[in-house]
Amino acid sequence: MQSADGNVVTKPSSFRPGSDTPFIVGLSILSGTYVAIILAMIAADLAYVDADSIMSALRSKEIQYSIGLSLLSCSLSTLLSLWVAIPLGYLTSRFEFPGKRLLDTVLDIPIVLPPLVIGISLLALFNFAPFSWTSEWVVFEIPAVILAQFMVACAFAARAMRISFDQIPTRYEKVALTLGCNRSKAFWLVVMPQAKRGVLAAGTLAWARSLGEFGPILVFAGSTRMRTEVLPTSVYLEMQAGNLKGMLAISLIMIVAAAAVLVTSRLMGMKRLEP
Amino acid sequence: MISVESLHVRQGEFSLSDLSFNLPAGTYGIVVGRSGCGKTTLLEAVCGLRQIAGGRILLGSEDVTNHKPGERGVGYVPQDGALFPHLTVARQLAFALALRKTEPKLIKERVEELSERLGISHLLNRMPNALSGGERQRVALGRALSIRPKYLCLDEPLSALDDQTHDEIYELLVQTVKGTGVTVLHITHNKREVEHLADIVFRMAGNELHREK
Amino acid sequence: MLVIWKKFPEEKTSRDDLIVYCAAGIRKPVEDAVKAYQDEFGVKIALDYDSSGALEGKLQLDIDSNKSRADLYIPADLSFARRAHQKGLTQESIPLASFNLVLASNPTANLNFTTLDEFLALNAPFVICNEAAGVGKTTKAVLENLGQWDSFNAAKKAASPRVTDAAAAIAASKVVQAGFLWNTTAKQFGLKIHEVPAFKLISSQITANVCTSSKKARAALLLARYLAAPSKGQIHFAKHNFTGVDGDKWAENPELIVYCGGVNREAVTETLRDFEKREGCKIVEQFAGCGSLVANIKAIGMSKAKTAMPDAFLTCDASYMNKVDTLYQDARDVSSTDIVMLVRKGNPKNLQTLEDLGKENLSIGTTDQKISTLGDLSWQLFAKAGIAEKIKANGTWEVTTPTAHELILQMEGHPKLDVALVYLANCQNLSKGLFETVPIHDPLAQATQNIAVHKSSSFPDMTGRLVKSITSVRSKKRFLEAGFRWKAEDTKVN
C-alpha cells in the first residue's frame, strides 16, 4: 500500500495476540475441579452419617473434651509457632550467614519426617537433660500435645513468614535506620505492620496444621480420653473400633470447627488490615 | 562537609574501589553518572547502609565510618520516597521525632511547620497510596528534614516525576535546602538538575569520580 | 538386559505336561474337558483310566518305589479320596461333580419294579461291581445299610472290576440284564434307569486330588481348577449328565485379598507366600489394626466396589469377627495369645501379679478401653483383681493408646512408663535384655485369633484352601515361633 507521498506503508497492524478465553477457561476448570472434588468428598461423608451419630458424638463427654482440648492446644501451638516463626522468618529473609543453607534444610525436616517418627523422636529427646527434668509433667500429658503440634506447625509457619518478609522491600528498613531506628525498632515499627497479612496467613496455616496433626501425639502424649485426646485422635479411635459412622461424624465436626475458626480469623484479620 | 577517602565497597559482583571526594560544608553537590555506575552504592555507603571494605567516611570532622546510620545525623530520601505504607503523612513526618521521645506538643509544632513549608498541610491525614508522585517526594523530604539533619542524601529524587512537577520540586529544594547550611549530596543521571541546583558537580564513570565546574 | 527379559516369561503359570489317574466312570467328561484344556494351553495331559481302587494301588506303588508319575487322582467316590489323603498319597482335594447310584437295566429286557425286593423277585440276572470300583464300594455300603447286602450279593450273576465294563455287559450281552451303576454311566450306555426310593439321596462326590509325589503341583492345581470352573470344565460334566459343583470362577492367576490383624504379621506372612507359589495365585494382604480393617470392610460393603472385599479375614481377636459376622461366616479358631505385663528388665517395681498394679508410685499404660479388645480385657482384669478403683485413685494410670503398638513404642522410647498391658505376640521384636514379660494367670487374659472366608468371595474354594493352609501343621510351627498358642485342630495337611 502506498501513502500520499509515495512511500510504501504497511497496513495498520492486523496482528492479534490471541483470545484469552481458552486460558481463563483452562484455569477455571482446573481450580473448579479441585474445589468440586473437595466439596464432593464432604458431601459423600455427609451421605454416610445421620443426625443421630452427629448428635451422640456431640453429646459425648469425651468428644466435648476433645473439641475443647483441640481448640485450646491448636491456639497455643499457633501462638508459640508464630512467636518462633516470625523471628526465624525474618532472620532467614534478611540476613546472610555461613550455614544458612544448612539451616534451611534443618527447618524442612519436621515437614518431611513421617509424623510417627516425630513422636518417637520427641520421646527419645525427653530421655536427655535438660528435657528429662520436665518429663514428669510433659510426657504423656497435655503439654506434650502442644509441643508435638508446635514442632510441625512451626516449620510451616516459618516458611510462610520467610516468604512474607521476602516480599517486603528492604528500603523501608533502610530509611528507618537513617531516621534513628536500630534493627529491632525498624523491625517492629516498620516491617511488622506490613507483615500483618503474612502473619495471619502463617497463623492460619499453623492452626490448621495443628488441628490435623495426631501422629506425633499418639506416641508422645498418648490418646488418653479426657486428658490428651484431641479431635483427630478421636477420629482414629473410632476407626480402630470399626465405627465408620462415628468416625465420619467427628470428622464433620472437625471440618465445621476448623472452618468456623479459619473464616472468623480471616474476616477479623481482614477488617483490621483494611485502612 | 561530606568527605570520602579511598572508599572500598563490595556489593556482590559489583565493587567500588579507592573512591575519594570532598564536598564542602553547606554546598549542594550533585554526582552525575550513567545508570548502574555505582552512585546509589556510594550514597548508601555515606548513609551507613553498606558494609565498607576499606577507606573512611567523614561527616564534618567526624570519622563516621563505623557509626550506625541512626548515629550519623544524615537525612536520607531514597528513590520514589519509600514512604512507610502503613502510616499517615503526619505520622511519617513525626516518625523520627517520636523515636527520640520528643514531647507531643513539640512534635505537633514541627509537623505543622514542615508541612507548611513543603506545601502539604492539606495532606496530613492521607495515606501514602493516596498521594501523587510529587506529593510523595515532598513528604519524603519532610520526613528526612524533621530532625534538622546537617547532611542530606537524595537518591534521584526527581526521576519518577513529570516535567511540571520537576520544576515545583526544584523550587522546593532551592527554598528549603539550598543555602540553609545543609550539605547536600544529590545523585542523578539527569543533567538538567545540575543546571538548576548544583554548586559542585562530580562525574562518576568507570569507578572514578571527577570534579567538574 | 537379557537376564531381565528372561525373567518375565518364567513368571507365567507353568504349562507342564501332566498325568491324570481317572476313574473309569468319569472318563467321558474328563476326556472332553482335558482336550479343551490341551487346546487352550498347548500342553499334553495323559489320562490313565481304571477303577478307583486300582488307581489307588498304582499311587501307592509309585510312592513306595519313589517314583513321581501321577499328578492328579480323580476317584469316583469321596471315600477313596479320603483314604488316599489319610495315607498321605494326596494333598489338596477339589470337588468336581457328583453322580448317583442307580439300578439300571437293558431297555429291551423290559424290567419293571419299584422297590429292591420287587427287583429281586424278578430274578433277572444282574451285575454288581467289585469294591475296587467306586460304584461297587458305594453299592455295598448302601445295601449293607439297608440290610440287603447278603441277599443281593448271593443273587448276583456277575461281578465286574469296572463300572464301564459292567454297563457294557448289560448293554451288549444277554448274560446280564441289569446292574448297579452310576446314573451317568447308565445314560452313557443308553440303559434304562429305575427310580429306587432307597437310592434317592445317595450321591457320590467326585474330586480331583493333587498327588503328593507330583512335582508339578501348581500345574495340577491349575487343571483341577479348570475342571471345577463353571465356564470351563463344568460344561463337560453337565453335558454328560453329571451334577456339577459351583467351583471357583476361572482365572489363570487368581488374586486373593486377605485382611490380617497386625499382630499376626510375623506368623502368617511366610504361609501366604508359600500358598502363592503352590497355587500360582497372587495374594494381596493388608496388615493393620483390626479396628481399621473392620471399618474398611464395612466401607467396602457400603460402596459399589465389591471386588475390593477381602476374601479372607484373619483377626487379632474373635470379637472383631463378630462385628462383620453378616459377611464372614464359619470362622475357625487359629491361635491365641496371652495378655501379659510388660516391664523393664529386672522387674524393678517387682510386679508379680495383677494385684501388684494396685501399688502407688507406678506408671501404667493400657490401650483404649472402649475401642480395643486388649484395653477392654485389661480393665476387666483390673476389676476382677479388685484394683480398678485403686489404680484410678492412685493416679497411676499414666497413658492410654489406641493399640498395643504405640504402648510398645512408648516403653522403648522413654523410661516414664513402668508397665504396659500388651499381648505376648506384640513383644517378639522388643530389644531383648531391656524388657521382661510377667504372665497373668487368668482365663480372661487372652485373645483368640480366628479366620473366615467371605460368603460372596469370587474364589471360595481357593480361599478355603488358604484357610486350610493357615491352619496346617507347617503354619502351626510359625505361629508357635511367633509367640502364639495353637488353637486350630491338628490336621495332617502340610
φ, ψ (nearest 5 deg) of residue A127: -80, -20
Q: CATH number of the domain at B95, please.
A: 3.40.50.300
Q: How confident is the model at residue A273 (pLDDT cuts 50, 70, 90)?
A: low
**What pTM value is reported for the model?**
0.73
C-alpha cell at A106: 534443618
Q: Is A123 on the interface with C (CB under 8 A)?
A: yes
pLDDT at C9: 40
Is C116 found in the same domain as C62?
A: no
Query: Which residue from C minimizes the CA distance to A127?
Result: C414
Residues C476 and C327 in one domain: yes
Same domain, C433 and C474: no
Per-residue pLDDT of A32-87, as tens digits, reads 999 999 999 888 888 888 888 888 888 888 889 999 999 999 999 999 999 999 99
Last residue of a domain, one of C183, C212, C244: C244
Of C292, C368, C409, the CB nearest to A219: C409
A214 touches chain C (CB under 8 A): no
C368 → closest Cβ in A48, A124, A223 = A223
| C93 shares a domain with C208 | yes
Nearest CA in chain A to C323: A242
Q: How far apart are CA C368 and CA A76, in angstroms?
A: 26
Q: Write out chain A residues lying below 8 Å of C414, CB-based.
A: 123-124, 126-127, 135, 139
B170/A158: higher pLDDT: A158
| Rounded CA separation A144/A153 (Å) | 14
Maximum Cα interatomic distance, chain B, rounded to a whole number of Å: 50
Do residue C89 and residue C216 come from a single domain? Answer: yes
The domain tally of chain C equals 4
Q: Does B47 sit within 8 Å of A179, measured CB to CB?
A: no
Please give the average per-residue pLDDT across B141-150, as a whole number: 90
Cα C81 to Cα C77: distance, rounded to the nearest angstrom: 7
Q: Find the CB nearest B99 among A175, A185, A193.
A: A185
Predicted local distance difference test score (pLDDT) of residue A153:
94
Q: Please give the residue range of the domain that contains residue B124.
A: 2-212
Q: Please tell me the distance in Å from C180's CA to the nearest CA on chain A.
A: 57
Residue C37 lies in a domain: yes
Which long-range contacts (C-beta less than 8 Å, at least 24 apart) are formed by B204-208? B204/B31, B204/B32, B204/B33, B204/B37, B204/B38, B204/B39, B204/B42, B205/B33, B205/B34, B205/B37, B206/B37, B207/B16, B207/B17, B207/B19, B207/B38, B208/B19
Q: What is the dihedral of CA C175, C176, C177, C183, to 10 degrees?
A: -150
Q: Which of residues 413-442 of C touch A (CB under 8 A)?
A: 413-417
B70:A190 CB<8 A: no
Q: CB distance C294–A242 less than 8 Å?
A: yes
- Cis, peptide link before residue A169, omega less than 30° from 0: no
pLDDT tens per residue, range C403-419:
888 899 899 888 999 99
Instruction: Give the closest-approach CA distance of B120 to chain A in angstroms.
Output: 20
| Residue of chain A minimizing CA distance to C301 | A244
Closest CA–CA distance from residue A162 to any residue of chain B (Å): 20
User: Using one digit for the tens of pLDDT, what is the confidence trace for C81-131?
Assistant: 999 999 989 999 999 999 888 889 999 888 888 888 888 888 889 999 998
In a shared domain, residues C356 and C436: yes
Q: Is C142 part of a structural domain of the chain?
A: yes
Contact yes or no, B with C (3+ CB pairs under 8 Å): no
The answer on pLDDT for A3 being more than 50 is yes
Nearest-Å Rg of the Cα atoms of chain B is 17
Taking contacts as CB-CB distances below 8 angstroms, the residues of chain A near B130 are none
pLDDT for C493 equals 47
User: Looking at residue C169, which CATH number applies to its domain?
Assistant: 3.40.190.10
Please state, rounded to an integer, the average pLDDT across all residues of chain A. Answer: 88
pLDDT at residue number C4 = 46
- Rounded to 5°, the CA angle A228-C424-C347 comes to 75
- Cβ A181–B99 below 8 Å, yes or no? yes
B48 contacts on A by Cβ (under 8 Å): 177-178
pLDDT at C494 over 60: no
Would you call B186 helix, strand, or coil by DSSP?
Answer: strand
Which of A46, A56, A240 to mutate against chain C (most C CBs within 10 Å)?
A240
State the DSSP string of B90-126: HHHHHHHHHHTT--HHHHHHHHHHHHHHHT-GGGTT-
Final residue of a domain: which of C244, C269, C295?
C244
CA distance A238 to A213: 16
Query: Which residues of A fall within a CB distance of 8 Å from B157?
Result: none
Please check whether residue C382 lies inside any domain of the structure. Answer: yes
Tell me if A177 and B147 make a contact (CB, 8 A cut-off).
no
**Residue C428 shares a structural domain with residue C344:** yes
Instruction: Taking residues B49-74, report their average pLDDT.
Output: 88
User: What's the confidence (pLDDT) of residue B213?
Assistant: 59
Whether residues C343 and C441 share a domain: the answer is yes
Judge: A222–C302 Cβ closer than 8 Å, yes or no. Answer: no
Reported ipTM: the value is 0.89
Helix (H), strand (E) at residue A184: helix A183-186
Same domain, C389 and C267: no
Its domain, for residue C78, covers 15-98+204-244
Strand partners, B203: B32, B210
Kindly tell me if the per-residue pLDDT of C15 is higher than 50. yes
pLDDT number for residue A1: 53
Residues C341 and C435 in one domain: yes
**CA distance, residue B133 to nearest chain A CA (Å):** 17
Number of domains into which chain B is organized = 1
Percent of chain C past pLDDT 70, that is, above it, reads 96
Residue B82 to residue A175, Cβ atoms within 8 A: yes
* Pairwise CA distance, residues C385 & C353, whole Å: 9
A241 in contact with chain C, both atoms CB, cutoff 8 A: yes
What average pLDDT does the segment A113-131 reach?
Answer: 89
Contact B95 A275 (CB under 8 A): no
Same domain? C389 vs C459? no
Please check the confidence at residue C48 and state whether its pLDDT lies above 60.
yes
Asked if A124 has any chain C CB less than 8 Å from its own CB, the reply is: yes
* A15 alpha carbon, distance to own chain's centre: 46
Q: For chain B, give me the number of helices (H) and strands (E)?
A: 6, 10
